[in-house]
Amino acid sequence: MPVYISEKLLIDLKKGNEEAFTLIFNVYFLRLCRFALTYVIDESTAKNIVQDVFIKLWETRQYINENKSILAYLLTITRNSCLDHLKHKLVEHKYQNQLLKDQSELELNYNALKRLEIDLLDYQEIEQIIEKTLRTLPPQCQHVFKLSRFDNLSNAEIAEKLDIGIKAVEANITRALVIFRKELKDYLTILILLNAV
């Protein structure tokens, strides 16, 4: 401890003596700034941290142990403040990276949708093919498929409604899908988007 940071000076600080505080500030401010700058890189951030350290010193002055090194005490507070700052920056960067990732995904989705050309004629053609294909299905298969895809009933609800087993419902839907996918093979991209089959 430098000779001018005496035990008496620390006792005066504990009592709220502003001159004692100013002297300690002048002696250690730049040294603590250099210490903080080693870790936080940015000079203005380092100075802000050290200024906060001295505010904390003043606010907690009554707890100072005048028999121990004031520099060690200030370095500990500075270290902890730097750690808090770096932890915050890490969380912030993680959040920003997530935003960039989300933005990237949004741009990909936007460009993918932009490239996807859907012609109204495609829908009209699909509807005609669906109607035509539905008519070719066996009656029960047709009924099960309509209840599943058009009425949005679950397999269990269809089974109960038609008084058949769930396995029979699944078999009829699978049979219908095989036929539809064959008939609509040229429109699969649109069908996937529409969840039509």
pLDDT at 49: 94
Least confident range from 11-25, 61-75, 94-108, 126-140: namely: 94-108
Q: Are residues 164 and 143 in the same domain?
A: yes
Final residue of a structural domain among 111, 141, 166: 111
Asked whether residue 148 falls in the same domain as residue 174, the answer is yes
Same domain, 97 and 174: no
Residue 164 and residue 147 in contact, taking contact as beta carbons nearer than 8 Å: no
> Residues 138-181: pLDDT tens digits?
999 989 988 987 777 899 999 999 999 999 999 998 888 888 77
Specify the residue for token string 């047709």. Answer: 142
Q: What is the mean pLDDT of residues 76-87?
A: 86
Calculate mean pLDDT across residues 95-101.
63
Show which of 93, 111, 129 is a domain's final residue. Answer: 111
pLDDT at 97 (0 to 100): 67
Which CATH number is 181's domain given?
1.10.10.10
What average pLDDT score do residues 71-78 get? 86
Total domains in the fold of the chain: 2
pTM above 0.85, yes or no: no
| DSSP string covering 127-146 | HHHHHHHHHHS-HHHHHHHH
CATH code at 57? 1.10.1740.10
Tell me the CA distances in angstroms from 14 to 59, 67, 119, 128, one per residue in order. Answer: 10, 12, 80, 89
**Are 103 and 132 part of one and the same domain?**
no
The answer to whether residues 129 and 80 belong to one domain is: no
Q: What pLDDT, on a 0 to 100 scale, did the predictor assign at position 116?
A: 43
Higher-pLDDT residue of 152, 51: 51
| Structural domain includes residue 1 | no
The verdict on 89 and 172 lying in the same domain is: no
pLDDT for res 191: 52
Say whether both 40 and 86 belong to one domain.
Answer: yes
* Enclosing domain of residue 131: 120-194
pLDDT > 90 in the chain, percent: 27
> How far apart are the C-alpha atoms of 173 and 157, rounded to whole Å?
14
Residue of 118 and 96 predicted with greater confidence:
96
125 pLDDT higher than 70: no
